[in-house]
Amino acid sequence: MRLFIGYTPPSDILEKLEEWTLPLRRADFPFRFLKNPVVHLTLHFLGEVDASRQKALTDSLETELADIGKFPIHIDELGAFSRNGSVSILWAGVKSDKRLSDLHRLLGRSIGKVGLPLEDRPFSPHITLARPRSDAGRIPVSQLSPYLSAKPHLECLFDHLTLFSSELSPQGARYRKQKEFRFE
């Protein structure tokens, strides 16, 4: 099963994020905008995980996350990742503070304890808002600059993590909650 660990912001924050993409939607850029409830912040992508390792990971996370308390996170910028100058992801940036970085490292240790590999790329906390449609062709990042100049200031409480499964299809990924971990 294809798994990742993520956080889903509360519905009022998701509504604000959707509002921020309205100018891009109206400009008719060829993007597939993500809709609730698939909008999330990924902390670790795990890839294909067999049932026994999934159980071991869930047990490890229950132990490791037992003493984690809620903390605020700040969503403070809009941006785009690119490949060869063409947009690959539109995102809302989450300010990485010590608590979020520490949580990311703690999750990494739990993942490593059960023998799963970690991603090589550095942690860049963001919430994916849209991806180019398959028929989009090349979309230069420079075309989006006027739409990405807004500096949002949202705060929400980071009060849970979810182990999600992800099933890919031509219509996009389908996510299912496998296990939710609530913070005190």
pLDDT tens digits for range 118-177 = 988 899 999 999 999 888 888 999 999 888 887 778 999 999 999 999 888 777 678 899
Buried b or exposed e, range 67-78, using 16+ CB within 10 angstroms: ebeeeebbbebb
What does the radius of gyration of the chain's CA atoms come to, in whole angstroms? Answer: 17
**Mean pLDDT of the residues in the chain:** 91
H helices of the chain, in order, are 11-20, 22-26, 51-64, 98-113
pLDDT above 80 for 40: yes
d(CA 34, CA 20): 13
CATH of domain 2-182: 3.90.1140.10
pLDDT tier at 6 (50, 70, 90 boundaries)?
very high
Q: In 3-state terms, what secondary structure has residue 35?
A: coil
Per-residue confidence (pLDDT) for residue 37, from 0 to 100: 66
pLDDT tier at 44 (50, 70, 90 boundaries)?
very high
Per-residue confidence (pLDDT) for residue 126, from 0 to 100: 95
pLDDT above 70 as % of the chain: 98
d(CA 3, CA 8): 15
pLDDT above 80 for 60: yes
Asked if residues 40 and 7 have their Cβ atoms less than 8 Å apart, the reply is yes
pLDDT tier at 180 (50, 70, 90 boundaries)?
very high
> Mean pLDDT across the stretch 66-74?
95
Per-residue confidence (pLDDT) for residue 175, from 0 to 100: 87
Per-residue confidence (pLDDT) for residue 28, from 0 to 100: 86
Residues 6+ positions from 87 with CB-CB distance below 8 Å: 80, 81, 132, 139, 140, 141, 144
pLDDT digits (tens, 9 = 90+) for 18-29: 888 889 889 988
How is residue 163 written in tokens?
């182990």
